[in-house]
């Protein structure tokens, strides 16, 4: 029960909720039922059918409508007297500036991506409004509190990079199904249906370039007048047969590994394509490209079935054929999308054929889709728990009850009757470039890299700035904005194509650049260090940004699966299966949700003397470990006074 004071604080509060998805729907409902009367909601999305199983404010009839607006209407039905202001918009829109943020007592995030989270963090810091941040992934979740000057900000700890695999594992020596998925999705699919100009390791690494260059030359291009069935079989024989034979020639590679088996269509399929009783007509009449399906054509109904090698080979050829026959216009610009049925069918079958070749167990389309789309199924209950915790923290923030702030982790397996683990928040990281203005250092080849590389790869991608302004002393090198004169726009555009050392105000080793985002009111200094050479594999961007160090050095490796934008990136991949038992076994829907902060804090705690906490943490680190004395636990403990909640951070 809330006290009189709490109720008064709640009633008088004006709160901003960002995101009205899985967490957001639960949060709005809980806020309304807890007595909040002035709630603003920003969400840029419309409702999709796939949201309905867990976003309970939405119904079938709402599909296609604004989430923010429908969520408002749904809650007003049972709380008609409160004020809910919806914005169907991107939180990064310039309208939501520092002044807009200043009107709120607290901001509550229910977002699903790093970019928007960082943006909101910066606006909260700039406006001095406390932020309660959250995320869930399946059974895991967390709520953290960020108050300027009092606790760490959302960006005080660098976020872990998504799980990556060495290129040679993907192209030459896969040992797990996920390696085959990455190969099928990021290399083969992209090679056949994506941007032809994009760098792709498929040719180079999976064939012996020196001895087979003429064989590999343009092998993926369909020849003029080539029958589509012939083309498909040629691709199949090349990637699953010929390339494997070439790889086998390198005896060194296979000394300590199982040798793969080359697969050719003639060994797996009958010589002529098989007509499927009447299904062909059905497939060819389909006009909606998104409903084109090789499975449907082949009469394969259950996505959870395990297909044989022959069936996979048929799906492979059929899917490739359907892309060329039904979706030809899209070829050259397709990227893998987990919601694209034909793409999932193609990738599943290609990954399975490769898996068969390498002696790796095959997977169903359903499983393969989960891996390829980095899907961890959402759990509505976790969202509800997290939403409740957000409200509890918001109430403490409104009463300025700093001592009671907690970051709470929702665990998958209870330990000692605890499913929720509250931890005291950490102090701001003094070397955080976002909240402490610490200068960063950038190693870069100033004679080779262009300003454009710096803007795209550092300022936008790494620093997350949207409207950057770059200065060298008093000289403006780059700026964006609606109010620029034409000649300024032309100057900046010209600068982008210049190498750093040839800019009007040359950037060389020893230069200090000031980078600023006017909307986020974030400013930071970057010390430039000239460096000639970079490691192609480890530093493909040819630049290394440093100076932004975690507060605690000891980091554990975290497995991640990325729920970010559906763009596929050859270096990113899911890690759904445990690899090594000694690694932290948290499977993340998106790396930014249960981020570095989470693993650091958990491992910090495990280093403390408190065995109870160590046990909880230990369980998270080795998921398969079963607690002997914990077979009938269904209690959730969120006792703010428990020993655990009093644990101080280790410095």
Ligand X SMILES: Nc1ncnc2c1ncn2[C@@H]1O[C@H](COP(=O)(O)OP(=O)(O)OP(=O)(O)O)[C@@H](O)[C@H]1O
Judge contact between 20 and 28, C-beta under 8 A: yes
Closer of 52 and 650 to ligand X (Cβ): 52
Q: How far apart are CA 326 and CA 627, in angstroms?
A: 54
Collapse the DSSP code of 350 into the 3-class scheme (helix H, G, I; strand E, B; otherwise coil) and give the result. Answer: helix
3-state secondary structure of 234: helix
* Binding region for Zn ion (CB under 5 A): 153, 156, 432, 434-435
C-beta of 97 vs 399, nearer to ligand X: 97
Q: Percentages helix, strand, coil for the chain, rounded to the nearest 5?
A: 40, 15, 45
Annotated binding residue 112:
yes
Q: Which of 86, 62, 88, 74 is nearest to 33 (CA)?
A: 74
**At closest approach, how far in Å is the CB of 335 from ligand X?**
17
Is residue 74 a known part of a binding site?
A: no
Question: Are 501 and 532 a contacting pair, CB within 8 Å?
Answer: no
Q: Closer CB to ligand X, residue 273 or residue 564?
A: 564
Helix (H, G, I), strand (E, B) or coil at 422: strand
Name residue 106's beta-bridge partners: 15
On whether 117 is known to bind a ligand per the annotation, the reply is yes
Residue 435, contacted partner among ligand X, Zn ion, none, CB below 5-8 A by kind: Zn ion
Query: Binding partner of residue 97 among Zn ion, ligand X, none, CB under 5 to 8 Å per kind?
Result: none
Q: What is d(CA 499, CA 497) in angstroms, rounded to the nearest whole number?
A: 7
Task: Collect all residues with Cβ–Cβ distance below 8 Å to 72 and sequence separation of at least 6.
Answer: 28, 41, 84, 85, 86
Angstrom CA distances, 363 to 180, 314, 367, 490, 562, stand at 11, 16, 6, 53, 20
| Residue 568 CB partners (closer than 8 Å, separation 6+) | 185, 186, 189, 190, 335, 336
Q: Least distance from C-beta 524 to Zn ion, angstroms? A: 11
- Give the nearer residue to ligand X in terms of CB position, either 96 or 548: 96
Cβ 32 vs Cβ 39: under 8 Å: yes
Binding residues vs ligand X (CB under 6 A): 19-22, 24, 42-45, 50-51, 67, 90-92, 111-113, 116, 378
153 binds, among ligand X, Zn ion, none (CB under 5 to 8 A by kind): Zn ion
Distance CA 46, CA 13 (A): 28
Residues with active-site annotation? 168
Q: Which is nearer to ligand X, 112 or 237 (CB)?
A: 112
Measured in whole angstroms, the distance separating CA 31 from the mean position of its chain's CA atoms is 28
DSSP 614-633: HHHHHHHHSTT---TT-SS-
Q: For residues 97 and 633, which CB has a smaller minimum distance to ligand X in the complex?
A: 97
Closest contact distance (angstroms) between CB of 378 and ligand X is 6
623 is in an annotated binding site: no
Residues 6+ apart with CB under 8 A from 414: 627, 630, 633, 634, 635
Q: In the complex, what is the shortest distance from the CB of residue 345 to ligand X, in angstroms, rounded to a whole number?
A: 20
Packing angle, helices 309-326 and 228-236, rounded to 10: 130
Residue 442 binds which of Zn ion, ligand X, none (CB < 5-8 A, kind-dependent): none
Residue 334: which of 169, 41, 536, 567 has the closest Cα?
Answer: 567
> How far is it, in rounded angstroms, from Cα 541 to Cα 449?
10
Query: Shortest distance, CB of residue 589 to ligand X, whole angstroms?
Result: 8
Given Zn ion, ligand X, none, residue 373, with its beta carbon under 5 to 8 Å by kind, binds none
Q: How far is the CB of 15 from ligand X (least distance, A)?
A: 16
410 labeled part of a ligand binding site: no
Q: Is 51 annotated as a binding residue?
A: yes
19 binds, among ligand X, Zn ion, none (CB under 5 to 8 A by kind): ligand X
- Residue 432 site contact among Zn ion, ligand X, none (CB < 5 to 8 Å, cut-off depends on kind): Zn ion
In this chain, which residue has its C-beta nearest to ligand X?
Answer: 21
User: Do the annotations mark residue 470 as ligand-binding?
Assistant: no
Least distance CB 563 / ligand X (angstroms): 7
Among Zn ion, ligand X, none, partner that 594 touches (CB below 5 to 8 angstroms by kind): none
Q: Is 432 annotated as contributing to ligand binding?
A: yes
On whether 84 is known to bind a ligand per the annotation, the reply is: no
**380-398 and 4-11 helices, crossing angle to 10°:** 100
| Upper half-sphere CA count for residue 491 (Cβ side, 13 Å) | 14
Residue closer to ligand X by CB (options 89, 496) is 89
Residue 24 Cβ, how far from ligand X at the closest point, in Å?
Answer: 6
Decide whether 92 or 354 has the Cβ nearer to ligand X: 92
Q: Is 552 one of the annotated binding-site residues?
A: no
Which uninterrupted H or E stretch holds 243? Answer: helix 243-248
Instruction: Please answer whether residues 192 and 320 qualify as being in contact, where contact means their C-beta atoms are separated by less than 8 angstroms.
Output: yes
Would the annotation count 481 as a binding residue?
A: no
Residue 532 sits at the vertex; the CA angle it makes with 160 and 166, to the nearest 5 degrees, is: 40
Identity of the residue, 89 or 204, whose beta carbon is nearer to ligand X in the bound complex: 89
Q: In whole angstroms, how close is the CB of 556 to Zn ion at the nearest point?
A: 21
Binding-site residues for ATP sit at 19-24, 43, 51-54, 67, 112-117
Binding-site residues sit at 19-24, 43, 51-54, 67, 112-117, 153, 156, 432, 435
Binding-site residues for Zn(2+) sit at 153, 156, 432, 435
């Amino acid at each position: 029960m809330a006290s009189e004071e709490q109720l008064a604080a709640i009633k008088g509060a004006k709160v901003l909720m960002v995101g009205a998805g899985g967490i957001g729907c639960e949060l709005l409902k809980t806020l309304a039922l807890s007595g909040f009367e002035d709630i603003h909601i920003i969400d840029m999305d419309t409702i999709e059918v796939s949201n309905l199983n867990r976003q309970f404010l939405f119904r079938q009839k709402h599909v296609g409508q604004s989430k923010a607006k429908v969520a408002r209407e749904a809650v007003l039905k049972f709380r008609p007297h409160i004020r809910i202001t919806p914005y169907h918009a991107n939180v990064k829109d310039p309208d939501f500036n520092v002044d807009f943020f200043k009107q709120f007592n607290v901001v509550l995030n229910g977002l699903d991506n790093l970019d928007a989270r960082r943006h909101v963090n910066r606006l909260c810091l700039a406006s001095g409004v406390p932020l309660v941040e959250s995320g869930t992934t399946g059974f895991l979740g967390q709520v953290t509190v960020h108050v300027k000057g009092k606790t760490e900000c959302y960006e005080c700890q660098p976020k872990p990079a998504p799980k990556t695999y060495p290129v040679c594992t993907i192209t030459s020596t896969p040992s797990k199904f996920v390696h085959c998925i990455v190969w099928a999705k990021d290399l083969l699919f992209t090679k056949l249906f994506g941007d032809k100009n994009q760098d792709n390791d498929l040719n180079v690494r999976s064939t012996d370039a020196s001895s087979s260059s003429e064989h590999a030359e343009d092998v993926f291009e369909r020849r003029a007048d080539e029958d589509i069935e012939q083309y498909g079989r040629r691709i199949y024989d090349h990637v699953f047969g010929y390339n494997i034979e070439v790889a086998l020639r390198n005896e060194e590679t296979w000394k300590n590994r199982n040798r793969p088996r080359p697969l050719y269509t003639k060994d797996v399929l009958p010589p002529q394509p098989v007509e499927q009783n009447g299904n062909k007509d059905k497939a060819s009449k389909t006009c909606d490209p998104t409903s084109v399906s090789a499975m449907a054509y082949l009469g394969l109904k259950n996505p959870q079935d395990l297909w044989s090698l022959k069936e996979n080979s048929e799906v492979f050829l059929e899917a490739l054929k359907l892309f060329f026959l039904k979706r030809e216009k899209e070829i050259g610009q397709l990227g893998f999308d987990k919601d694209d049925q034909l793409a999932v069918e193609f990738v599943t079958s290609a990954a399975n054929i490769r898996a068969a070749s390498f002696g790796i167990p095959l997977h169903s389309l359903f499983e393969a889709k989960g891996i390829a789309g980095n899907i961890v199924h959402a759990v509505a209950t976790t969202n509800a728990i997290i939403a409740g915790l957000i409200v509890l923290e918001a109430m403490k923030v409104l009463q300025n009850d700093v001592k009671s702030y907690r970051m709470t982790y929702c665990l998958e397996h209870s330990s000692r009757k605890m499913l929720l683990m509250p931890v005291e928040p950490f102090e701001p990281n003094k070397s955080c470039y976002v909240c402490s203005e610490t200068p960063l250092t950038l190693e870069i080849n100033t004679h080779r890299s262009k300003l454009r590389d710096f803007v795209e790869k550092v300022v936008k991608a790494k620093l997350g700035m949207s409207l950057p302004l770059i200065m060298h002393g008093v000289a403006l090198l780059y700026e964006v904005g609606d109010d620029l004169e034409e000649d300024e726009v032309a100057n900046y555009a010209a600068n982008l194509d210049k190498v750093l050392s040839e800019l009007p105000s040359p950037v060389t080793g020893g230069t200090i650049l000031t980078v600023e985002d006017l909307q986020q009111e974030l400013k930071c200094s970057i010390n430039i260090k000239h460096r000639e050479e970079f490691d192609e594999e480890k530093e493909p961007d040819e630049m290394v940004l440093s100076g932004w160090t975690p507060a605690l050095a000891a980091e554990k490796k975290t497995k991640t699966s990325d729920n970010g934008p559906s763009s596929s990136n050859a270096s990113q991949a899911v890690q759904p299966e445990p690899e090594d038992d000694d690694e932290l076994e948290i499977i993340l829907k998106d790396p930014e949700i249960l981020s570095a902060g989470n693993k650091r804090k958990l491992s910090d705690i495990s280093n403390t003397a408190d065995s109870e906490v160590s046990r909880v943490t230990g369980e998270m680190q080795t998921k398969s470990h079963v607690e002997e004395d914990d077979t009938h636990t269904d209690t959730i403990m969120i006792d703010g006074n428990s020993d655990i909640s009093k644990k101080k951070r280790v410095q």
